[in-house]
């Protein structure tokens, strides 16, 4: 087993537990999603051996290869990257979750393509919190109408919101930005049954937990810096 991955998983779990306590979040209320994009199946196996069960991948073709290699393991697979409509079938057929939903056309394709023998696909709506042209996601003000437009899609289960905020320097700045997500989620919860706030990465995990995240997506702190040249 890769002991550095094992140690990193242990350390992140401790940090999550500490933040849950510090910010009066319920014990075990924050799920760790290990982001394994660009990492080989062996690294996922090492994290699995350390007790990790939920893994996030961004690139569908890369992910499907690893899902095949690790088909013998009871892993919950999350697609967290933007999705082109010609790749929806793989996500509908091979994943348990999709975190980056922001277009009705993609939702309709996933709904149609979700195999009947599988449970509905869990989805999160990606919010473009900082109004960045380069980022996917819908505007906070459009979230309610968008979620309402998905209600008839019975093979999808809308679980909540997801965000990739722009980097901020201090914990307090991170918190102030992510508080907007907490408020939006609370507002939408008056109308829809939402139980997931997918926010927090290596650099803002603690602020995200302070502001109500239920799922942190951590890559670098578990697997080390990514090498995009050799995925």
Ligand X SMILES: *Cc1c(COP(=O)(O)O)cnc(C)c1O
Positions that interact with ligand X (CB under 6 A): 35, 37, 58, 80-81, 164, 201-203, 217-221
Closest CA to 149 of 189, 106, 90: 106
Q: In DSSP terms, which residues pair with 35 in a beta bridge? A: 56
Name the residue nearer to ligand X (CB basis): 75 or 216: 216
**Least distance in Å: CB of 71 to ligand X?**
23
The residue ranges of DSSP E strands in 128-211, in sequence order, are: 156-163, 196-198
Name the residue nearer to ligand X (CB basis): 37 or 109: 37
**Least distance in Å: CB of 18 to ligand X?**
18
**Least distance in Å: CB of 85 to ligand X?**
19
Name the residue nearer to ligand X (CB basis): 99 or 145: 99
How many CB atoms are located within 10 Å of the residue 24 CB?
7
**Least distance in Å: CB of 162 to ligand X?**
8
Position with the least CB separation from ligand X: 219
**Least distance in Å: CB of 198 to ligand X?**
8
Distances in Å between the alpha carbon of 126 and those of 27, 43, 83, 160? Answer: 26, 27, 12, 9
Name the residue nearer to ligand X (CB basis): 18 or 191: 18
Which one-letter DSSP state was computed for residue 21? H
Name the residue nearer to ligand X (CB basis): 136 or 155: 136
Name the residue nearer to ligand X (CB basis): 67 or 164: 164
Q: DSSP secondary structure string, 164-221?
A: -PPP-SSHHHHHHHHHHHHHHHHHHHTTS---EEE---TTTHHHHHHTT-SEEEE-HH
Rounded Cα distance, 94 and 86, in Å: 15
**Token couple for 230:** 């050799």
**Least distance in Å: CB of 147 to ligand X?**
20
User: Which residues are CB-contacts of 190 (< 8 A; sequence separation ≥ 6)?
Assistant: none
Rounded Cα distance, 126 and 130, in Å: 12
Rounded Cα distance, 231 and 224, in Å: 13
Name the residue nearer to ligand X (CB basis): 38 or 88: 38
**Least distance in Å: CB of 209 to ligand X?**
14
């Amino acid at each position: 087993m890769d002991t550095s991955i094992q140690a990193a998983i242990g350390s992140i779990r401790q940090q999550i537990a500490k933040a849950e306590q510090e910010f009066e979040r319920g014990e075990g209320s924050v799920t760790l999603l290990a982001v394994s994009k660009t990492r080989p199946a062996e690294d996922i196996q090492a994290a699995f051996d350390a007790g990790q069960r939920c893994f996030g991948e961004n690139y569908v073709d890369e992910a499907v290869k690893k899902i095949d290699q690790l088909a013998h393991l009871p892993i919950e697979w999350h697609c967290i990257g933007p999705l082109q409509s010609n790749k929806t079938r793989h996500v509908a057929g091979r994943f348990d979750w999709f975190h980056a939903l922001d277009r009705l056309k993609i939702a309709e394709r996933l709904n149609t393509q979700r195999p009947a023998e599988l449970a509905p696909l869990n989805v999160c709506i990606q919010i473009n919190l900082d109004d960045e042209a380069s980022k996917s996601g819908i505007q906070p003000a459009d979230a309610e109408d968008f979620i309402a437009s998905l209600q008839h899609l019975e093979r999808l289960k809308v679980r909540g919101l997801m965000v990739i905020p722009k980097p901020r320097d201090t914990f307090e700045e991170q918190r102030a930005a992510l508080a907007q997500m907490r408020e939006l989620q609370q507002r939408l919860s008056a109308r829809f049954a939402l139980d997931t706030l997918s926010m927090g990465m290596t650099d803002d995990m603690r602020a995200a937990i302070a502001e109500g995240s239920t799922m942190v997506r951590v890559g670098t702190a578990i697997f080390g810096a990514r090498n995009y040249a050799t995925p």
